[in-house]
Structure 1
Amino acid sequence: MKRYRNSCIAFVRRMMRARKGRPWALVVLVTFLFINLCSEWPANVARPAFLDTLDNVLPDSFGSARQLLFDHYQRRFPRVPTTQPVTIVEIDDKTLEAFGQWPWPRNRLAGLVDAIEADKPLAIGLDIYMPEPDQTSPGIVADNLPAPEAALATQLRALPSHERILATALRASPSILGAAAFDYATSTTRTDMLSAPVLVHGPHALANVHRFNYVLASLPELQGAAHGQAMLNVAQEQGTVRRIPLVLGLGDKLVPGLPVEMLRVATGSPAIEVFAGPSGVRAVGVADVRVPTQPDGDIWLHFASIAHTQQRYVSARDVLQGKVDASRIRNKLILVGLTGTGLTDMRTTALGELVPGIEIQAQVIETIFEGRFLQRPAWLIWCETAFILVTGLFLIWYVPRNDSRLAVFMRTVPKASAIIGLTLNLLTLSVCFLVFRYVGFLVDAASIFIILSAVMGSFFTISLMEPDAQNASRSPETDVSGATLRS
């Protein structure tokens, strides 16, 4: 067994040293490139089954490193807001203390919608799900009264339900109700909801977006009264929000995300437009605004620090009590959400900050207004691959040459390959940071670093083997010389 193991090791060493290590370095280059491309397999292309096996065997080092690098881009250059089109009316601890615990009776929520509408906002988006009847409605309370209270029950049933009161408020305001898409059915989910038309220009849009079969939406009576319905789903990777879908698939139709539906209602547009091609969705448009997307309808979100967005929050208590300056609401896009203790849907952003879920939606709207989009188009991935391949092939050809200055440097300077690799990759990383800051492209410098370092490292490993090979070749001569001297 030991002899077999030694033979295998010797064979691998001979293979690595063959032709000055070029074939081995080429194998390393091609293998790593293939794994990297598989880590960003296009959503619109059928994924081979063997890739699932590969994912189970190898850790997703390229994908994880890529996401960490993109997060570092944002932390180094976070977005600084230049506009404030959004105001968040938060149902915070002060509001709950003043008006009672959540969930509120729907007539009280109607009062909040009416108070917001009085200051003439462009749109009101509610990050609130109401799939079940309000148990405090007069008719339901009447049904639970004992028989001796029949007269009181009759009087209660004559009053409008809380759903009807809220529906009146929603109908009188530019309101949008939030909903959440699910992969599975529950007692409160449905298979469809009312939504604005989505006009598709081009093929394959529905096939490429995130698709769901069920939705948690508000009661049909409320949906019919609101001026729009929209999904609140966000994309999370390893617990962090980096992307958000502008359109999703619900069954056999496309439905909008909250940011674009807010813009549709605010501009009075009859429909949302989706521009698609063979590779998937290219852009989502509302009125004269067109937002470039990934093929699956997502956009990469360039986050601003929560420290720069705190001024967008106003307490619902102050709105209900008439203490908010009308300029905070007039001609603004208003988002109503929960931020009270124990009620908040907290999310981690690429900046590493924990923020309310409604803040994510506000940042998307703000990004669209500013037109500052992050992009990672499919052609960029192939440009990265071509750069890695060309640079790697150049290193494979040039590094082993005995007459090159690089070869002399590597023979005379300890850890020369590491120095060269770090220098090359630091230069690449600096260029990628500049591209991110001034162009908004997410260039994967992490994969470039990993693959080219692996190519350089293969030559470094081979150079470490050379002394062993020289000692092994000298040992027989030493034995012969010793035998001659002894004789």
Structure 2
Amino acid sequence: MKRYFDPWIARTRHLLKAAQGRPVALALLFGLSLLNLTSEWPSDIPRPAFVDALDAALPDSFKTARQILFDQYQRHFPRVPTAQPVTIVEIDEETLATVGQWPWPRNRLASLVDAIDALKPLAIGLDIYMPEPDQTSPDKVAANLPKSAAALAAGLRALPSHEAILERSLRAAPTILGAAPLDHATSAASTDLRSAPILVHGADPLDSVQRFDYVLASLPELQAAAHGQAMLSVALEQGVVRHIPLIMGLREKLVPSLPMEMLRLATGSSAIDVFADTSGVQAVGVADVQVPTQPGGDIWLHFASIRSTLSRYVSARDVLQGTVDPDRIRNKLVLVGLTGAGVTDMRTTALGELVPGIEIQAQVIETIVEGRFLRRPTWLKWAESAFIMTFGLLIIWYVPRRQSRLAVFIRAVPKGSTVLGLLLHLLNVLCCFLIFIRFGLLVDAASIFIILSAVMGCFLTPALLHADESGRTETTHAQGREEADGRTGKARGP
């Protein structure tokens, strides 16, 4: 096996020693920098075809390392909530045991909406889809009765349907219905949503945002009764939620997310503002609040630990029974969702915690209200690339110079130079982490570390190989001297 690798090792040594390793270092610097840009192409320039081909051939080349690093930023410095504008009315295990299994008849859901509305919230967002008629409604039950029960059927048909009851409750309260985006058609899917207007300032951002062709929304009469409609969507990357879209596209129409629609209704605004240019969405706003976004209309969410937000949860059972503290609801943005086992969607956050999907929507609202945003603007990607290229070229120019202090140090103490390199990279990570804490900027220290380590390795490797060869030569000479001394001793004899 050793003989098989010896030619490759020899070629590698020769290549690294050629022109003092500069050609290999330059090739790595430019090649890895291009690969890094490919994994996160800046939105302010068109994406060439070869970039797509390179990304397909080497998917997630730097993306995974970048995501892990950004997760570590948050895990070491999670957001600590300073306000609690959101209350989650959870349909939990206790509620299901008391009120009945899910899905509930629509009149029972109407009772919950009425009970919440009586406590004067600013807005009520329902993370619930109702695309089909309630089969427990009196008219539906009447249709399934035998002919012998004609009188009973007539009496049932005279009662209001469960949809009609829920319509009245939705119309009377400041309610918003959620809807689920779909990429494919289903029997219950539709292609439109009755959403509030979105006013675009600047270029049309429709091609920049995440777009869907279908939506799983509530019945048209329920949509008409509610005061708003919103799309519920999270962006999953390897099963983890890191950023959330504030606006999305439904075919040729822009539609809001639940957090933005909740804020629109709570502030009494008639529309949501979107500020965009040719590179994509720059900000999404409502009333006097503007949220800086990524070009795709999404935000990186700075998560708070679920342990610090448990106080926002209120059992729907307590609301229905009238035992909840009114201050938990009054002047709050209320989200209604399922958290009972087996009936909820659980999501993994950047903190590594498994939380209900409704919790993520609450954290988006909380982040906007607090004004504490994480940002990774396009200029930051260019700044990172400029730093990598500048520092990389400086390494390539300075390190191989035989009389430079660093070159002398590397030749004298090869292992010490490795320690020096690690210390510099730790300083890089520390600086990027401090920038995250102070300014909320996501600086990609991982790519800086990987690329500059590869460049520096082109000069450290020959020094290490030289030290290894010198060590082997010295060992061989020592063994030779010992053998010679041994033979001399035997020749002299007693």
Is 1:137 aligned to 2:147, yes or no?
A: no
| 1:304 matched to 2:304 | yes
Q: Provide the rounded CA distance (Å) in 2 between the counterparts of 1:85 and 1:136.
A: 36
Task: State the alpha-carbon separation in 2 of the partners of residues 149 and 380 from structure 1.
Answer: 72
For normalisation by structure 2, the TM-score amounts to 0.92
Matched, 1:243 2:243: yes
* Alpha carbons 1:417, 1:456 under 8 Å: kept: no
> Following superposition of structure 1 onto structure 2, how do residues 10-409 of structure 1 map, counting pairs within 5 Å?
13-42=13-42, 47-58=47-58, 60-409=60-409
Kept in 2, the 8 Å contact 1:22–1:396? The answer is: yes
Q: What is the identity, as a one-letter code, of the residue corresponding to 1:196?
A: A
CA drift of 1:15 comes to 3.4
- How far 1:463 moved relative to its partner? 2.4
Distance 2:185 2:44 in 1: 26
Q: CA deviation at 1:23?
A: 1.5
Deviation at 1:462, TM superposition (A): 2.5
TM-superposed CA distance for 1:290, in Å, is 0.4
Q: Distance in 1 between matches of 2:187 and 2:106?
A: 21
Q: Which amino acid aligns with 1:243?
A: H
Give the 3 Å change call, closer, same or farther, for CA 444–216 of structure 1 in structure 2: same
**Sequence identity, in percent?**
70
Partner SS state of residue 415, structure 1? helix
Q: Which amino acid aligns with 1:328?
A: R
Aligned mates of 2:411, 2:4 — CA distance in 1 = 33
Q: Tell me how far 1:178 sits from its aligned partner.
A: 0.2
Letter in 2 for 1:114: D
Asked whether the 8 Å contact 1:17–1:462 carries over to 2, the reply is yes
SS in 1 for 2:180: strand
CA distance in 2, matches of 1:4, 1:155: 90
- Distance in 2, Cα, partners of 1:14 & 1:236: 46
1:22-62 deviation per Cα after TM superposition (whole angstroms, max 9, x unaligned):
12111111111010000002457654444444345435241
Shift of 1:365: 0.3
Asked whether the equivalents of residues 126 and 176 of structure 1 are also in contact (C-alpha less than 8 Å), the reply is yes
Amino acid at match of 1:102: W
- Return the alpha-carbon distance in structure 1 between the equivalents of residues 255 and 465 of structure 2: 61
Deviation at 1:207, TM superposition (A): 1.1
Q: Are the equivalent residues in 1 in contact too, given 2:66–2:446 (CA < 8 A)?
A: yes
Distance 1:410 1:8 in 2: 24
- Tell whether the 8 Å contact from 1:90 to 1:339 is kept in structure 2 after alignment: yes
Pairwise CA distance, 1:6: 8.1
Coordinate RMSD, CA, aligned: 2.1
What per-residue deviation string (whole Å, max 9, x for no partner) do you get for residues 96-136 of structure 1? 01100000000000000000000110000000000000000
1:345 alignment partner AA: D
Mapped partners of 2:313, 2:285: distance in 1: 28
Inter-partner Cα distance in structure 2 for 1:80 and 1:288: 24
Name the amino acid aligned to 1:330: R
Conservation of the 8 A alpha-carbon contact between 1:90 and 1:316: yes
Q: How many Å apart are 1:459 and its aligned residue? A: 1.1
Q: Conserved in 2, the CA contact under 8 Å of 1:44 and 1:207?
A: no
CA offsets 1:366-413 (integer angstroms, 9 cap, x no match):
000000000000000000000111111111111111111111111111
Q: Which residue of 2 aligns with 1:449?
A: 449
Secondary structure (helix, strand or coil) at the match of 2:304 reads coil
Q: 2:87, 2:400 → 1: CA distance?
A: 62
> Hey, what's the Cα distance between the residues in 2 that align with 1:200 and 1:55?
32
Q: Distance in 1 between matches of 2:107 and 2:56?
A: 53
* TM-score of the superposed pair, with normalisation by structure 1: 0.93
Q: Which amino acid aligns with 1:97?
A: A
Unaligned runs of 5+ in 2: 472-494
Q: Distance in 1 between matches of 2:221 and 2:43?
A: 37
The 1-side partners of 2:53 and 2:28 are apart by 20
Q: 1:316 to 1:402 in 2, by over 3 A?
A: same
Query: CA distance change for structure 1 residues 463 and 17 in 2, over 3 Å: closer, same or farther?
Result: same
Secondary structure of 2:284's aligned partner: strand
Amino acid at match of 2:322: G
The number of residues matched between the two structures is 472
Q: Distance in 2 between matches of 1:439 and 1:369?
A: 17
**SS state at 2:207 partner:** helix
- Consecutive unaligned residues in structure 1, runs of 5 or more: 472-487
Q: CA deviation at 1:9?
A: 6.7
Task: Evaluate the alpha carbon distance shift between residue 44 and residue 343 of structure 1 in structure 2; reply closer, same or farther with a 3 A threshold.
Answer: farther
Distance of aligned partners of 1:42 and 1:388 in 2 relative to their CA distance in 1, 3 Å threshold: closer
User: Aligned partners of 2:58 and 2:374: how far apart in 1?
Assistant: 29
Q: Distance in 2 between matches of 1:62 and 1:334?
A: 39
**Which residue identity lines up with residue 357 of structure 1 in the other structure?**
G
